[in-house]
Chain A
């Protein structure tokens, strides 16, 4: 077994040689235990992460139908992707959604955290209110919003009418721009609690002395935020932006369930492409190629994050 060879192979390690014989025996026993404790996870990792990734990469070079008819076609799937009008539209939709929703969620989340951080009485109530939607599932929030946004019967138009913002019914889900606005509103409402909680924790970690110093210097509220609060939150901000960017790139549930990808395909996304090509027209190879493009994009974002964090750490 692998664990045995590993233990024997490493017996000359520097850390063990300087110890007493008894300790070194324990150390050796430790290697066996160490390997045994990592092994169960490693099996699942191999079976459901590493092998699928490699398998999927392989499939992306084939014309692969559901029933298993497969022909090796090299990079043809990837070449076809570049020509695929619908994929390009879906990719562009996803990028636009990400570009709009990430700053919105991060900015609004930070605003809520700053507001709540300044309030002692009733803080728990506010925290609960902002976080509550986050625990609901994508199906529940999507359905709530579909019904909420209905013209004539939905509450949203009624509220907007009531405060005088609109004067005629708005058909939120029938217009391509408004459909995206709807998805973004629902997503902000659903996920902002997570971002808010991260920012609030970050705010509470800032030492009181920082603010006292700013006070002594006679800084006003905005200056304090600009030069003390915001820089102290840089790690949290990077984290939030990266997590949100990755999550936004993977958007599927909201667009499937709120708009069904419509009107006329206007709210389809990259994962939507994977779903449709893979499980509705059953072009497994083509869908795998799309999945690889998605993975590459997310990998680049993650690497940029690592670099940014390292820079901040200096």
Chain B
């Protein structure tokens, strides 16, 4: 009996859970399309984009998203470059002291970014970088996770290909660039996704570093804009929707790669 109904129980439970996750997002979209004091619950659902127009007039949402994009893309590109070079060196070249250095980097993985907020603030202030978009990129480049993930991946690549290239006279740098980078596209993509999401979502460091509205990221600017609304929900919710929609569209297009990438990086992070 139980065995017979089990598959149905599983399916019903799964759908109910899926609704739990989707309802707040759909509600966000619904509220944003409903005029304030509107009719969402009083029957008759008339769609209006007025809220979107109002929010875009009152807050530089696109500017903030541009800042976020700039910071996240620069961070991701630089992390991929720095980490893949270092990981290749640790995996294939090895120089005296390289093992010690690798262990030093590895142990830094245990140090939470939140622990260095104060010294970073002081250092950035004294070097005049505080409040700039550059200040949001630099600290993220010191994270060692990428090296660790890519080294594991490089260690698993077969040696035959590079041996052949080496006989043909290719140097280490060329082998990294011509053979390792193309071969590790899945690992690079996974690390890139992970880094991008982390950078886009960063809240505490931008909160401390950025005070000029023009340089804010969307993650920082959004709550600032919303905090001026009290007891009014359509406009704050519309701002949420504006911030969420591009991210959700990108996610829906690349969901397979993104979920795989997260599983890959998450699984390697040990």
Contacts and interface: CB of A to CB of B under 8 A. Distances in A.
B115 A302 contact: no
B222 A143 contact: yes
Given A48-B139, A239-B266, A246-B112, A115 B118 contact: no
A201 B143 CA distance: 25
B125 to A, nearest CB: 9
A171 to B, nearest CB: 14
B66 to A, nearest CB: 15
A139 interface: yes
Interface stretch (B96-104, B153-161, B181-189): B96-104
A40 B78 CA distance: 10
Nearest to A8: B96
Interface in B91-127: 93-98, 101, 105, 108-112, 114-123
B255 A274 contact: no
Interface residues of A, number: 99
Contact of A294 (B22, B31, B112, B121): B112
A252 interface: yes
A10 B166 contact: no
B240 interface: yes
A231 interface: no
A231 to B, nearest CB: 18
A20 interface: no
Interface in B29-55: 31, 41
B270 interface: yes
B21 to A, nearest CB: 5
Nearest to B221: A139
A119 B123 CA distance: 53
Contact of A198 (B121, B138, B252, B263): B263
B269 A144 contact: no
B95 A35 contact: yes
Interface string A218-236: 0001000000000000011
A86 B226 CA distance: 28
Contact of A34 (B6, B10, B89, B259): B89
Contacts of A33: 89, 93, 171-173
Give the dominant DSSP class at A's interface: helix
B105 A45 contact: yes
A48 B120 contact: yes
A9 interface: yes
A53 B23 contact: no
Interface in A266-296: 271, 274-275, 278-279, 284, 287-288, 291-292, 294-295
Contact of B86 (A41, A137, A159, A235): A41
A44 B82 contact: yes
Interface stretch (A23-31, A95-103, A209-217): A23-31
Contacts of A89: none
A206 interface: no
A83 interface: no
Given A34-B98, A41-B147, A130 B233 contact: no
Contacts of B197: 134-135
A119 B236 contact: no
Interface in B52-81: 81
Interface of A: 6-7, 9-10, 13, 26, 29-31, 33-35, 37-38, 40-42, 44-45, 47-53, 55-56, 59, 112, 115-116, 118-119, 124-140, 142-145, 147-148, 150, 153, 155, 158-159, 189, 194, 197-198, 200-202, 221, 235-236, 239, 243, 246, 249-250, 252-253, 256-257, 271, 274-275, 278-279, 284, 287-288, 291-292, 294-295, 298-299, 302-303, 305, 309
30 contacts: A29-B172, A30-B172, A34-B93, A37-B85, A37-B93, A37-B176, A40-B81, A41-B82, A41-B83, A45-B144, A48-B138, A49-B108, A52-B116, A53-B116, A128-B252, A131-B258, A133-B21, A138-B203, A139-B219, A140-B243, A144-B237, A147-B237, A148-B24, A201-B263, A250-B114, A253-B203, A279-B121, A284-B122, A287-B117, A309-B270
For the complex of A and B, the 6 pairs showing the least CB-CB separation, nearest first, are: A34-B93, A10-B96, A48-B142, A56-B119, A129-B18, A52-B119
